[in-house]
Amino acid sequence: MKTNLKSYLNKSLTTFILLYTTITFSQPFTYKIHKNNRVVSLLMSNTQFNQWTGNDEFADRVKSQLLIKDVLKNVNDDFDFITLILNTDQTPTGITYAGKLSSISNAIEGIGVRTFDNTSAYGSNGRLKSIIQLTRKNSILFGPFLHELMHNWASYGLDTVGPRRGFSDDPNDFSSFFGHWGFTGGNTPGQLGGFTQSSLISNGSNSYTVDVFGDFANGGNSVPYTQLELYLMGMIPVEEVEAFDLFQDITSYSRGTKQGTYDFKANTRITYTPDALINKLGKRNPTHLNAQKEFKILTVVITTTPLTDSEWTKFDNDIESFTRKGDDGNPSLYNFWEATRGIGSLNPILTEKSTILNVNDITLTTNNFKVYPIPANQYLTLQNIGRKTLANKLIICNAIGKKIAKLPLEKTTSQTIDVSKYTSGIYYLLFQKGTTILETQKIIIN
């Protein structure tokens, strides 16, 4: 077990122009992809950012749909998760959480969630599972990244109970704890809360003592996933989930008489064995044998100023560490691979198909072709202005380097192409011979 961080975490010029070109879609955001293809930045104006955070527009379904649609216009629709992380040291005023997950689709049976597909509303064609917002820049390494990812699968099927105001001896202060484990045991403290089952002591008269635990979280990325959480994720068979207790009808909750413990009273104690879990939730389908184990994840940093080199490096290093298929080298923290016992993994790489080139590497040149009109509405004319050209194909890329078309160049003085099917915005024309770029031009399509 890695060192627990609970005490800390529970407190709760051409090139420049090309890098920061505005994409005029449903929302006028500016995008840039880091050279390692693991992180994308989304540049908002101060007004946009204040609206996004002050009104918590991530929680506004319409506003979040517009933003995610905009993102997916610029990368491939091959991501299971899209994570938005605010480039802030502290959670902004107007947002009341460190992290939040919004479910977009679910095709899994037997985890307490109905099957549904709302992907089209977000610009995805059946691939996107969830979107996440993390409200501080250190949330990748320290959490609640593992916690929010877990919400893709749990906790929705068990009738958990938790406190509304912390310690209390008023039964009315305890209620349904949808989404978190509350007073539920596990082989370790869970990412979504819960106590260590082996620490449970029955004092008689419905009175119990357990080691200190969090009812909704247990220290960010400093704890791994429990057996129950791994089962719901499809990482292990149900037979590997050791029996655990879930308590309801809580009547009191206090700091224990013994240091490092909590005392509580509960009128209902339910013991879940593997068979009891299946009786409650149904059989998981797909089973752990053919459940998805590797997930594509896109990380988008929302910022009001272009990221500095040091900021880029930090975000890129943090994502590399969190998604590494191996030990992250930090004895106090778990990455996703470690938290899933080396069974699950996250792939953060934007594929070559998504980003055929890095816009860092584009240098505008005009040698052999005159391109007009700019801006173009329906047709674009490529006119050979008299110089000899060896270019034999044209690549059209959007503002962050995604290839959207490849066309042959005719051996004529003028060629017209239809651009009416492309969304309004900035694009780059790459005149190539083979894989060699001979000329590049920037255009605008209305």
**Band (162; pLDDT cuts 50, 70, 90):** very high
User: Once rounded to an integer, what is the mean pLDDT over residues 327-336?
Assistant: 96
The answer to whether residues 196 and 231 touch, using CB atoms and an 8 Å cutoff, is no
Confirm whether 109 is domain-assigned.
Answer: yes
Between 80 and 367, name the one with better pLDDT. 80
Q: Residue 55 belongs to what domain range? A: 6-142+292-347
Amino acid at 237: P
**Model pLDDT, residue 5:** 46
User: Once rounded to an integer, what is the mean pLDDT over residues 210-237?
Assistant: 97
The answer to whether residues 445 and 419 touch, using CB atoms and an 8 Å cutoff, is yes
Tell me the three state secondary structure of residue 342: coil
Tell me: the pLDDT tens digits for 264-311? 999 999 999 999 999 999 999 999 999 999 999 999 999 999 999 999
First to last CA, the chain: 57
> Nearest CA to 398 among 32, 1, 12, 27?
32
Confirm whether 265 is domain-assigned.
Answer: yes
**Model pLDDT, residue 119:** 98
Tell me: the pLDDT tens digits for 3-24? 444 443 333 322 222 333 333 3
Confirm whether 196 is domain-assigned.
Answer: yes
Q: Is the pLDDT of residue 321 over 70?
A: yes
Tell me: the pLDDT tens digits for 343-358? 999 999 987 545 445 5
Tell me: the pLDDT tens digits for 28-55? 688 888 989 999 999 999 999 999 999 9
Amino acid at 302: I
User: Once rounded to an integer, what is the mean pLDDT over residues 399-413?
Assistant: 82
154-158, 277-281, 322-326, 353-357, range with the lowest pLDDT: 353-357
Do 58 and 29 fall into the same domain? Answer: yes
Do 10 and 138 fall into the same domain? Answer: yes
- Vertex 77, ends 49 and 139: CA angle to 5°? 45
Tell me the three state secondary structure of residue 163: strand
What's the whole-number average pLDDT of the chain?
89
CATH number of the CATH domain containing 416: 2.60.40.10
Report the alpha-carbon distance of residue 246 to residue 236 in Å, rounded.
21
173-187, 225-239, 294-308, 386-400, range with the lowest pLDDT: 386-400
**Model pLDDT, residue 439:** 86
Do 21 and 122 fall into the same domain? Answer: yes
User: Once rounded to an integer, what is the mean pLDDT over residues 78-101?
Assistant: 97
Do 382 and 417 fall into the same domain? Answer: yes
Do 69 and 132 fall into the same domain? Answer: yes
**Model pLDDT, residue 423:** 85
The answer to whether residues 115 and 100 touch, using CB atoms and an 8 Å cutoff, is no
**Model pLDDT, residue 11:** 35
Tokens of 394: 């044209």
Between 358 and 407, name the one with better pLDDT. 407
Confirm whether 147 is domain-assigned.
Answer: no
Do 76 and 129 fall into the same domain? Answer: yes
> Nearest CA to 201 among 140, 262, 151, 159?
262
Report the alpha-carbon distance of residue 221 to residue 149 in Å, rounded.
11
Do β-strands 130-134 and 81-86 pair in parallel, antiparallel, or remain unpaired?
A: parallel
Do 184 and 70 fall into the same domain? Answer: no
Do 88 and 113 fall into the same domain? Answer: yes
Tell me the three state secondary structure of residue 7: helix
The DSSP annotation for 82-108 comes to EEEEE--SSPPTT---SEEEEE-EE--
User: Once rounded to an integer, what is the mean pLDDT over residues 144-156?
Assistant: 97
Report the alpha-carbon distance of residue 146 to residue 403 in Å, rounded.
33
Do β-strands 261-272 and 39-43 pair in parallel, antiparallel, or remain unpaired?
A: unpaired
* Domain endpoint, select from 347, 368, 386: 347
Tell me: the pLDDT tens digits for 102-133? 999 999 999 999 999 999 999 999 999 999 99
Residue pointed to by tokens 């997916």: 72
Burial of residue 35 (CB within 10 Å: 0-12, 13-18, 19+) is exposed
Work out how many domains the chain is built from and give that number. 3
- Vertex 238, ends 233 and 240: CA angle to 5°? 105
Q: In degrees rounded to 5, what are phi and psi of residue 18?
A: -70, -35
* Domain endpoint, select from 326, 347, 368: 347
Confirm whether 222 is domain-assigned.
Answer: yes
Q: Is the pLDDT of residue 262 over 90?
A: yes
The answer to whether residues 190 and 181 touch, using CB atoms and an 8 Å cutoff, is yes
Do 337 and 396 fall into the same domain? Answer: no
**Band (260; pLDDT cuts 50, 70, 90):** very high
**Band (436; pLDDT cuts 50, 70, 90):** confident
The answer to whether residues 146 and 334 touch, using CB atoms and an 8 Å cutoff, is yes
| Percent of the residues in the chain that have a pLDDT greater than 90, as a whole number | 72
**Model pLDDT, residue 157:** 94
Residue pointed to by tokens 């993102």: 71
Q: Where are the alpha helices (DSSP H) in 283-427?
A: 309-322, 336-339
Q: In degrees rounded to 5, what are phi and psi of residue 364?
A: -70, 130
338 CB neighbour count, 10 Å cutoff: 22
Report the alpha-carbon distance of residue 306 to residue 105 in Å, rounded.
33
Report the alpha-carbon distance of residue 85 to residue 302 in Å, rounded.
6
Confirm whether 299 is domain-assigned.
Answer: yes
